[in-house]
Amino acid sequence: MIDLRGKPFYLSDDDIKWVEKTLEEMDLYEKVGQLFCIIGLSHEEDVLKKIMMDIKPGGIMFRPDNSEKIAKTHSIIQGSSKIPLLISANLEEGGSGIANDFTSFSSQMGVAATNDTDYAYKLGHVASTEGSVVGCNITFSPVVDINFNFRNPITNIRAYSDQTCKVLEMSKSYIKAMQDNNMGVTIKHFPGDGVDERDHHLVTSVNSLSVKDWDDTFGKVYKELIEMGAQSVMVGHITLPSYQKHLNPLLEDKDILPASLSKELLNGLLRKKLNFNGLIITDSSLMMGLYSAMERKKAVPMSIAAGCDMFLFARDLKEDFGYMLQGVKDGLISKERLDEAVTRILALKASLGLHLKKENNHLVFTKEDIENLDIKTHKKWSRDCIKKSITLVKDTQNLLPIDSKRYKNILIYKLGWDNTCENKNIENKFISELEENDFRVGLFDTKKAKLTSIISPIEEFKKKYDLVIYLADKKPISNITSLRLGYNSFFGADFAFAVNEVPTLFISFGSPYHLQDMPMMKTFINCYNNNEVAVEEVVKKLIGKGLFTGVSPVDSFCGMWDTKL
């Protein structure tokens, strides 16, 4: 039974009448269309209007593009759709999640490293105001996963912390800002990523916590954020065997399904135990975590039959629509389950006032709206956040600060010669900043590594360089199975052979866990962001023009004794 007047919808009598009337007037095809939140693949008006006419999806999500282009596209979609759409984006790090000329505020972990919930609120404010101005009305954020496993390649700096209380306090502040700006939120990835070291983009991953441990951690996070009024939960292709067997003692290992297909987790845990009344949406249906569970023809309708209300993306829209429709005709999705799912979708739209905006023609987004954004203030907040977050994990050699008299000649190594380095210009900006402060800087070119790079006198190296700095900017990217450091394939020509010969320090602009591969580093810094602001601010701190104020929200020592030396 859906409580339309209760949390998280809080609908008025008039809102409820709209939901009920809209549902009553829909035919089977329209109801099935509402179950889909599709991925935007074209900005062409004719293509968009045809999709709105043929499929009539309940929601859509575009990848970031120019803000004016995105605003125009969203206006076309809402103008040509009979029922207003949920328009989503991954606003995890700011408005850049929908428009590449908007603010990239900070990674979530960078926000947590400030140890100040005000920055989580500011992240939410920036994300919601910038997202709203181009037509987004719901975000697939915040990430409320807990980074229990430092080897997990997909949570990492997308998560706030490995501490339950830290995840909660930061998430609450972010959500409060979203609520203040009438942006719907989606907490993800239920039942909790960050325990397995595998990526559910590539495999059905496992949350291996016991029932009690889950209740005390992920359960606590979801319970409190649901009570706070989170409108939507995104369900991952992640199993939670302890709870699935607890709720269904007859369940055999071979029958354990990912949460996106699990009645035990969707109905028993999320709906009943956690009392979630809002919208449940699957994570992307293009992930291997779903494919590996069962054939797609069955998985598409099974997700709704099991308890999800919305299906994210499609491999082929016409084909997946057909699978879903057949699931209804075959009775896998009952009429009651279909109406329940569509009712929640409509209720969420009504709770965001989309039906009223549609009636009043307020779902058009203009260049003037974008120009009225206070981007200048948003970028100042971002710089302040990044500056405050940069963390000196250790400096057991008392190297810092450095000056150009003692450490005039510097050699830079950029690790990550494989394709997992996100920002190819980090090293150039870093070198430029150092040179402006009177250092002479060289960059080791891994592409030109020769035998002489590893077979040459140490004493000559020591005479040539006063300081060695290692840079890394590996950050979570879907389908990359590891964020471990990689060295040049030519005899490891860039590994830290001189760490005990020349003062050496390490700076990470991405993953905070590189000490597992560099325990010999005596000076180690985490930045959590790989943009120019992070480079500028960390250089200031290196030369003593700023203090290191970041507080590590995770165990950057990776639970290893030698990393602390």
- Mapping DSSP onto H, E and C, the string for 140-153 reads CCCECCCCCCCCCC
**H or E segment to which residue 138 belongs:** strand 138-139
Q: Strands of 36-39's sheet, edge to edge?
A: 279-282, 232-235, 184-190, 138-139, 86-89, 59-61, 36-39, 311-312
Looking at residue 182, its amino acid is: N
Given a contact cutoff of 8 angstroms between Cβ atoms, the answer to whether 339 and 23 are in contact is yes
**Is the Cα dihedral 356, 362, 365, 368 positive or negative?**
negative
Cβ neighbourhood burial of 101 (10 Å; 0-12, 13-18, 19+) = middle
CA 493 to chain centroid: 34
Question: How would you label 10-27 residue by residue, b for 16+ Cβ within 10 Å and e otherwise?
Answer: ebeeebbebbeebbeebe
- Cβ neighbors of 416 (< 8 A, separation 6 or more) are 472, 473, 474, 485, 486
* CA distances to 73, 274, 407, 537, 556 from 400, in Å: 50, 49, 11, 15, 19
Given a contact cutoff of 8 angstroms between Cβ atoms, the answer to whether 95 and 126 are in contact is yes
| Residue 92 phi, psi dihedral angles, 5° rounding | -70, -35
Looking at residue 401, its amino acid is: P
Q: How far apart are CA 56 and CA 76, in angstroms?
A: 14
**Is the Cα dihedral 49, 51, 52, 53 positive or negative?**
positive
Residues tagged active-site? 283
Pull the structure tokens for residue 353.
């006032």
Give the pairing of strands 86-89 and 138-139.
Answer: parallel
Q: How far apart are CA 420 and CA 558, in angstroms?
A: 21
Given a contact cutoff of 8 angstroms between Cβ atoms, the answer to whether 508 and 393 are in contact is no
- Cβ neighbors of 67 (< 8 A, separation 6 or more) are 99, 101, 102, 133, 134, 370
Pull the structure tokens for residue 16.
């409820």
- Omega of the bond prior to 401 within 30 degrees of 0, cis? yes
